[in-house]
């Protein structure tokens, strides 16, 4: 392949290695990840988005945030900051230039947690830009500009709003950036020069505010290429050709000469793909007499270790832990399949499946296809399963002095993200129960009117169920109160109540809230037969979350609890008995309800993959127009009914943010809110001396629908 045919983060394997790999192997992209946490976060996002694209789980159930969706384009995230708050990538779109044939070009995007997505357009003179890597803090990104002007590596500083062209090697006409150090000040790449294709190391001087490109040599042959750089920026890894024209795995320390790593016994070509944090351990693959094997190279002792295979003819290393003690990758098997592998000094090369079995995880048959990234301590691995789904795996800790953490387990990204489905709705639960307390049995202020000097005590309650995507959950309120009328035109009420509601989540998970509330209210006549009512609401509750997800062949549970507080008010106007139709009297009304709910952050316990959730705050503002009807059947019994239309002004719940512990942060978009719904009710009202009561059955079309029974009784004295 010519230099211009390579992407900013793709480097071809030597020909012999390509020939001995499964079909499509040589198109694999070897990405440089800057930190162990970032590595897992990136793999989670990249693999997760791939899995979800096929199933559309996130789009339907709001359990995952799409980073980008561009009509007519192919979107591909490429890298993520260490904390997971910045994602960079590219989307390809067909482009027709002013003259000549058209073709696909790349545009970049930068997604920032909290700010959303920003499209990155190529600089004037180029048709295409490709972002390949990003620094640990997400501020510096590197990649290539191509099409139109000569292909050139660049370094972009988001904070300064500047993009810097890195130039070319002496005599060169093209350059590409393949990786960037954790602090963003060192860039690795390759380009052509008067000497042939050459790896380079570009260094930024923060004092001089400029950088310089240093050509990195070969092993006596024509070309050298870089695949990545250590996080500290001192070691570049890749391959270089020797005098015989063979590509040999090599590394460069700072701007020093190429140092050959060598080849395994029986081989003649090799390539270095990753380095650990300080570059002291390098991994890659080399051909051997009968195939291709992954290797682990220790710089201090110049030892190149053959990691073998799982019975097949090839293996390939994709990642290494922070201290270099764990290597992961993919290996062929004797039956023609492949599995992810994990190597350590203690276990040698074993499948990820067997590593999990040794950690106590039940896996009936081997399921992994590869292992693509590993955490700093070597305990967490990501990759793909044989069914194409991405997985996350955690093994048991081998350090007895380390603090205990989540147990071992394996989940697929798709299935795990499904466990978040419905969580962006959990802010609804305290609000729904608060709304029920104010607009359920307490939606009949005319029933509670008193004459001057009268007092009453009452009990009110609602009992019903609310439907959602996963089932039907119970909900209810109950309260007692006291009322007093200082005049014929004013009634004062004060209630103390308790509430409960439960909403189902996927795989038998649930969101449950229970708490107590206080409800003061004043009703007064503002004109003949027209009454204005102002109701307050304050509650304190506890939200309990139970999140279920598949772990291996079973279901795992992570759970947490958080305090929830809701404040609100309702303003309502009733026109008592405004008109009659034969013997039925009708009272039109209008109301406005405001509620603000705040749920504290919490960290889950239990399960292999718990998460931490940040505090969430949301408000609801709802206007209602309705008509109450009453038909006196006898002097003591009346048939009552209600018809109501409601509109909520918000169209989306607040985001749910947090961290999948040990992996990455997440930002779940708020669930869409149904803004318009209908409510109807029918029941009876009766009185006997000082005792009065009301019973009404209600239905609502809100969300998936709900129904409840409201009951009120009072004693007047």
pLDDT, tens digit, 9 for 90 and up, residues 128-138: 888 888 888 88
**What pLDDT is recorded for position 684?**
96
For the whole prediction, is pTM greater than 0.75? no
**What pLDDT is recorded for position 500?**
92
> Averaged over 379-389, what is the pLDDT?
83
**What pLDDT is recorded for position 655?**
82
Of residues 379 and 402, more confidence is placed in: 379
CB-based contact 444:626 (threshold 8 Å): no
* CA pair distance 221, 226, nearest whole angstrom: 15
pLDDT band at 413 (very low <50, low <70, confident <90, very high): low
Query: Maximum distance among all alpha carbons in the chain?
Result: 110
**DSSP conformation letters of 139-159:** -EEEEEEEEESPPEEEEEETT
**What pLDDT is recorded for position 191?**
95
**What pLDDT is recorded for position 479?**
95
* CA pair distance 319, 315, nearest whole angstrom: 13
Strand ranges of the sheet holding 611-613, from the earlier edge strand across to the other edge: 602-603, 611-613, 656-660, 664-668
Q: Is the pLDDT of residue 615 over 50?
A: yes
Q: Is the pLDDT of residue 9 over 70?
A: no
Give the three-state DSSP class for 437. helix
- Picking from 276, 277, 273, 278, the residue whose alpha carbon sits closest to that of residue 292 is 273
CA atoms within 13 A on the CB side of 353: 18
Query: Using alpha carbons only, how large is the chain's radius of gyration in Å?
Result: 33
* CA pair distance 473, 504, nearest whole angstrom: 6
**What pLDDT is recorded for position 432?**
83
Name the least confident of 117-126, 262-271, 495-504.
117-126
**What pLDDT is recorded for position 337?**
94
> Averaged over 523-544, what is the pLDDT?
95
pLDDT band at 73 (very low <50, low <70, confident <90, very high): low
**SS3 assignment for 5-72:** HCCCCCCCCCHHHHHCCCCCHHHCCCCCCCCHHHHHHHHHHHHHHHHHHHHCHHHHHCCCCCCCCCCC
Q: Is the pLDDT of residue 617 over 80?
A: yes
Q: Is the pLDDT of residue 3 over 70?
A: no
**What pLDDT is recorded for position 17?**
44
Q: What is the H or E stretch that residue 432 is in?
A: helix 428-439
**What pLDDT is recorded for position 572?**
97
The tens digit of pLDDT for each residue in 590-604 reads: 999 999 999 999 999
Of residues 577 and 608, more confidence is placed in: 577
CB-based contact 448:523 (threshold 8 Å): yes
DSSP classification of residue 707: E
Pinpoint the alpha helices (H) of 118-242. none
Residue whose token pair is 């419905």: 422
**What pLDDT is recorded for position 116?**
61
> Averaged over 486-500, what is the pLDDT?
95
Q: Is the pLDDT of residue 28 over 90?
A: no
Tokens of 180: 């960037």
Name the least confident of 63-72, 263-272, 337-346.
63-72
* CA pair distance 661, 334, nearest whole angstrom: 36
Residue whose token pair is 């499904």: 418
CA distances from 413 to 86, 138, 409, 416 (A): 20, 24, 13, 5
> Averaged over 154-177, what is the pLDDT?
92
* CA pair distance 261, 283, nearest whole angstrom: 10
Q: Is the pLDDT of residue 428 over 90?
A: no
Tokens of 492: 């004062």
* CA pair distance 504, 62, nearest whole angstrom: 15
pLDDT band at 650 (very low <50, low <70, confident <90, very high): very high
Residue whose token pair is 């062209």: 165
Q: Which residues are registered as beta bridge partners of 382?
A: 373, 392
Tokens of 480: 């007692």
CB-based contact 470:505 (threshold 8 Å): yes
pLDDT band at 123 (very low <50, low <70, confident <90, very high): confident
Q: Is the pLDDT of residue 315 over 60?
A: yes
Pinpoint the alpha helices (H) of 246-372. 352-358
- Picking from 566, 572, 569, 502, the residue whose alpha carbon sits closest to that of residue 530 is 572
> What region does 125 belong to: left with phi over 0, alpha with psi -120 to 50, or beta?
left
Of residues 345 and 399, more confidence is placed in: 345
Of residues 342 and 137, more confidence is placed in: 342
The tens digit of pLDDT for each residue in 189-224 reads: 999 999 999 999 999 988 888 899 999 999 999 999
pLDDT band at 64 (very low <50, low <70, confident <90, very high): very low
pLDDT band at 243 (very low <50, low <70, confident <90, very high): very high
* CA pair distance 708, 628, nearest whole angstrom: 17
pLDDT band at 85 (very low <50, low <70, confident <90, very high): low
* CA pair distance 106, 95, nearest whole angstrom: 9
Angle at 243 between CA 238 and CA 249, to 5 degrees: 20
> Averaged over 321-338, what is the pLDDT?
93
pLDDT band at 119 (very low <50, low <70, confident <90, very high): confident
Q: What is the H or E stretch that residue 55 is in?
A: helix 36-55
Name the least confident of 398-412, 572-586, 593-607.
398-412
For the chain, the average pLDDT equals 83
> Averaged over 462-482, what is the pLDDT?
87
Q: What percent of the chain has pLDDT over 90?
A: 52
CB atoms within 10 A of CB 553: 12
CB-based contact 447:712 (threshold 8 Å): yes
């Amino acid at each position: 392949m010519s230099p211009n045919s390579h992407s900013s983060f793709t480097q071809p394997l030597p020909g012999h290695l390509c020939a001995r790999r499964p079909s499509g192997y040589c198109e694999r992209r070897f990405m440089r990840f800057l930190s162990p946490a970032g590595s897992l976060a990136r793999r989670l996002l990249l693999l997760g988005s791939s899995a979800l694209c096929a199933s559309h789980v996130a789009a339907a159930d709001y359990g995952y945030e799409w980073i980008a969706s561009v009509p007519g384009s192919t979107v591909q995230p490429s890298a993520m900051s260490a904390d997971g708050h910045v994602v960079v990538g590219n989307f390809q779109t067909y482009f027709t230039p002013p003259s000549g044939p058209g073709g696909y070009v790349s545009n970049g995007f930068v997604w920032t947690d909290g700010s959303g997505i920003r499209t990155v357009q190529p600089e004037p003179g180029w048709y295409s830009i490709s972002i390949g890597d990003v620094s640990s803090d997400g501020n510096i990104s590197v990649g290539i500009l191509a099409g139109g002007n000569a292909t050139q590596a660049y370094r972009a500083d988001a904070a300064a709003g500047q993009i810097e062209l890195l130039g070319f090697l002496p005599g060169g006409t093209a350059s590409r950036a393949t990786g960037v150090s954790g602090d963003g000040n060192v860039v690795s790449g390759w380009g052509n020069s008067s000497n042939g294709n050459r790896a380079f190391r570009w260094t930024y001087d923060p004092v001089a505010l400029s950088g310089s490109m240093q050509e990195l040599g070969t092993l006596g042959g024509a070309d050298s290429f870089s695949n990545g750089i250590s996080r500290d920026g001192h070691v570049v890894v890749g391959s270089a050709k020797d005098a015989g024209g063979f590509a040999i795995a090599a590394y460069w320390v700072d701007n020093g000469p190429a140092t050959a790593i060598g080849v395994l016994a029986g081989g003649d070509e090799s390539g270095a793909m990753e380095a650990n944090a300080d570059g002291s351990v390098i991994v890659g693959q080399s051909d051997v007499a009968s195939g291709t094997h992954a290797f682990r190279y220790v710089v201090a002792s110049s030892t190149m270790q053959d990691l073998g295979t799982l019975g097949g003819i090839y293996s390939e290393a994709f990642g290494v832990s922070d201290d270099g003690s764990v290597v992961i990758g993919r290996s062929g098997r004797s039956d023609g399949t492949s599995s992810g592998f994990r190597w350590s000094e203690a276990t040698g090369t074993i499948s990820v499946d067997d590593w999990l079995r040794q950690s106590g995880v039940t896996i009936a048959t081997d399921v992994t296809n590869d292992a693509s990234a590993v955490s700093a301590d070597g305990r967490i691995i990501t990759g793909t399963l044989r069914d194409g789904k991405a997985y996350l795996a955690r093994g048991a800790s081998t350090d007895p002095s380390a603090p205990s953490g989540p147990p071992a387990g394996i989940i697929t990204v798709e299935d795990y993200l499904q466990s978040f489905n419905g969580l962006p709705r959990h802010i609804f639960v305290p609000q729904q129960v608060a709304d029920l307390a104010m607009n359920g049995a307490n939606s009949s202020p005319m029933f509670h009117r008193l004459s001057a000097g009268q007092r009453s005590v009452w009990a009110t309650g609602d009992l019903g169920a609310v439907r959602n995507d996963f089932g039907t959950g119970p909900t209810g309120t109950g309260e007692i109160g006291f009322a007093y009328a200082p005049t014929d035109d004013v009634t004062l009420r004060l209630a103390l109540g308790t509430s409960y509601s439960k909403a189902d989540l996927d795989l038998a998970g649930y969101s449950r809230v229970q708490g107590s509330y206080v409800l003061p209210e004043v009703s007064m006549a503002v004109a003949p037969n027209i009454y204005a009512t102002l109701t307050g609401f304050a509650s304190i509750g506890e939200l309990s979350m139970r999140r279920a997800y598949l772990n291996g062949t079973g279901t795992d549970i992570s759970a947490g609890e958080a305090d929830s507080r809701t404040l609100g008010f309702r303003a309502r106007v009733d026109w008592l008995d405004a008109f009659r139709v034969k013997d039925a009297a009708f009272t039109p009304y209008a109301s406005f309800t405001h509620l603000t709910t705040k749920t504290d952050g919490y960290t889950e316990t239990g399960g292999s993959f718990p998460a931490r959730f940040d505090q969430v705050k949301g408000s609801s503002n709802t206007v209602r127009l309705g008509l109450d009807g009453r038909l006196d059947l006898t002097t003591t019994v009346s048939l009552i009914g209600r018809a109501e239309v409601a509109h909520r002004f918000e169209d989306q719940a607040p985001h749910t943010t947090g961290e999948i512990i040990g992996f990455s942060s997440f930002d779940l978009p708020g669930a869409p809110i149904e803004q318009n719904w209908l409510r109807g009710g029918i029941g009876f009202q009766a009185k006997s001396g000082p005792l009065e009561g009301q019973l009404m059955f209600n239905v609502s079309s809100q969300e998936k629908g709900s129904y409840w029974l409201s009951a009120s009784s009072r004693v007047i004295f």
